[in-house]
Structure 1
Amino acid sequence: MKIGFAGLGHLGSAIAQHLIAEHVDLIVWNRTPGKAAGLGVPIAKTPRELMDDSDIVIMNLFDSDAVDEVMNGKNGLLAGDCQGSLIIDTTTNHFERVLAFHEQARDHGARYLECPVLGSVVPASAGKLTVVVSGEKTAFDEAKPVLSKIGSTIHYLGEPALATKMKLINNLVLGSFMATCAEAVALGEAAGVERTRVIDILLSGAGNSMILSAKKEKLANAEFSTHFSSALIYKDLHYLQDLCRIMRRPLFIGSTVKELFAMTRSKGYDDLDFSAVYRVFKEL
């Protein structure tokens, strides 16, 4: 079975490289072809060509605008004969627009699964992401062998848009924890405690968490090469605000955290890892 892969950003590259290491027969496409050059696998010239040459196509893109362009643009995935094809979309989408992607694929005879993933580059490199899935059960059953190479934990929610909504809710926790840990480290330093000591104390106390453990070295060394960018968490929290508006629910913590990550944008840190929100607090 030949698998197509579209989108070679930080997370997409890690997923693709792991699939290659697992001996998956992969063909890739990226808007910037140079990012695909070092993978040692065939490179499609367009998303349409990727679909034509693949049994299943996986997408990992920045946002729903990018997904729309790759699926529906000139020479997009749906531009050719895609009858019976399966699209696995690991992008974190907008909860309303993902419904259109299900419908558009169906109108062209393809199947679409929304499969946002929890985790970033490190677990992706080991095939240990968590995958949340919505879409037709028969499509999920067909995709499961591929999904099991991407994630060690898979949750099938069925109803379209549920997986996307759950991913946005997960990222409320992710963004809030990261911002709290970053503020605590900056506060500890300002109070006169050495930064690595602050981190160690937090990890042995109330701050002990998967998030602080994963970002310990980045915070300790103030080195923010990107695993999951500030721009992405800002986008996801913006989508979450839209969800709460539709649900007629307030979003207290998430709205504040979103504006903290908006400050990373205003300071030019948005392409850095989202742990760079520490710099916002450090510079106060």
Structure 2
Amino acid sequence: MTPPKKPTLVSDNLSSPDKLAASLCVGVVGLGHMGSAFAQNLVDSGYKTFVFDRNESKRNACAGAKPASVLADLSVCDVVFSSLPDDTVLSNLSEGSNGLVSVLKEGAVHVSTSTVSPAISRHLSQLHEMNGQGYVASPVLGNPDLAKARKVFFMVAGASGPLSKAAPVIESLGQHVFFMGDDPGHANLMKLAANVMIATTLESMGETLALLRKGGIPTEVGFDVLTNSLFDSKVHKAYGGKILREQYRPAGMVVPLALKDMRLALLEAERSTTPMPFASLVRDRMVAMLARGWDTLDWSALGLLASQDARLPSAQELSDVLK
């Protein structure tokens, strides 16, 4: 299969990013850690930016943006980003008489940065198309700190017209965009697959560091050997560092959201008859974390679970780790 090519972008016909910013009005729906970072960066890039969140204080916290009290206020926008937690919230905000599909103007593009199922993206893409609009799936690899620094990665897919319009704006928010083709579901499947890789890496690192500790090797020494030899990826260093320091708050990805992503990935695996035994195991490990009440911890707390299973004491008091 031929890899997807980068589409011709609207910005290719503009001489500068400033002209692109002046030519488009953008909106952001969902002002959590990621959405608020995107909104502030859009403002800082010179875009006329509208922001919507059900929490009024979050709407008013984005300096330089225009707070939208209802979704209909986004009807002036050319491109609207949504940053929402799951399929249900994305569907509720998009569908219905007051949803994005109803209020956006003809030719506007909805860019979903959420980690959701391929099915919901394909469904919403069809609804937007029926209403003369566009839909682009653009899930993100990276955490809120990287989003603030414009260092996240985007996996982007959608029809060529909407994609050519939205991609230059997306590119301004991160360090690289991977174009996945015209099926928006492929961008979401790619993100789910990447999260499976991260989760299984966290599980293996947690178990390995527990083994080293139990065998008398200081965790810092084992971590140094592993991450400065064959296992020197960003995931090993960044997430493994959280396990090393027992730094599970503030969470970049809380356990319930990580579990949701594993569940979605395994549903896709079942549909395509793709056995994923390791992913299934890690999904169950996340259920065990919730059973312990760890719903506000970062998913790297898989390392904490491994150390507790090995009956290892925490470097800190467990009550301090879980604060």
Cα displacement string for residues 90-147 of structure 1 (whole angstroms, at most 9, x for unaligned residues): 1111112221111111122211111112222232122122211221111111112101
What is the aligned length?
A: 283
Match of 2:52 in 1: 29
Q: Report SS of the residue matched to 1:283.
A: helix
Cα displacement string for residues 148-186 of structure 1 (whole angstroms, at most 9, x for unaligned residues): 112222122222311111111122211111221222223
Cα displacement string for residues 233-268 of structure 1 (whole angstroms, at most 9, x for unaligned residues): 211111111111111121121111111122222222
Q: Is the 8 A contact 1:230 1:264 kept in 2?
A: yes
TM alignment of 1:42-191, pairs within 5 A: 42-49=66-73, 51-73=74-96, 75-80=98-103, 82-156=105-179, 157-191=181-215
CA RMSD of aligned residues (A): 1.9
Letter aligned with residue 238 of structure 1? R
- The farther-off stretch of 31-40 and 155-164 is 31-40
Q: Is the 8 A contact 2:111 2:138 kept in 1?
A: yes
Task: Give unpaired runs (5+ residues) of structure 2.
Answer: 1-23, 310-323
Task: Give unpaired runs (5+ residues) of structure 1.
Answer: none
In the superposition, the TM-score normalised over structure 2's length comes to 0.81
> In the aligned structure 1, how far is the partner of 2:106 from the partner of 2:193?
34
> In the aligned structure 1, how far is the partner of 2:36 from the partner of 2:212?
36
Give 1:74 deviation, angstroms: 5.2
- Regions of 4+ moved over 6 Å: none
Give 1:217 deviation, angstroms: 4.3
Match of 1:241 in 2: 266
Match of 2:276 in 1: 251
> In the aligned structure 2, how far is the partner of 1:18 from the partner of 1:228?
21
> In the aligned structure 1, how far is the partner of 2:41 from the partner of 2:198?
24
Letter aligned with residue 254 of structure 1? A
- The farther-off stretch of 140-149 and 226-235 is 226-235
> In the aligned structure 2, how far is the partner of 1:185 from the partner of 1:198?
7
Q: 1:200 aligns with which of 224, 232, 248?
A: 224
Match of 1:4 in 2: 27
Bigger-Rg structure (1/2): 2
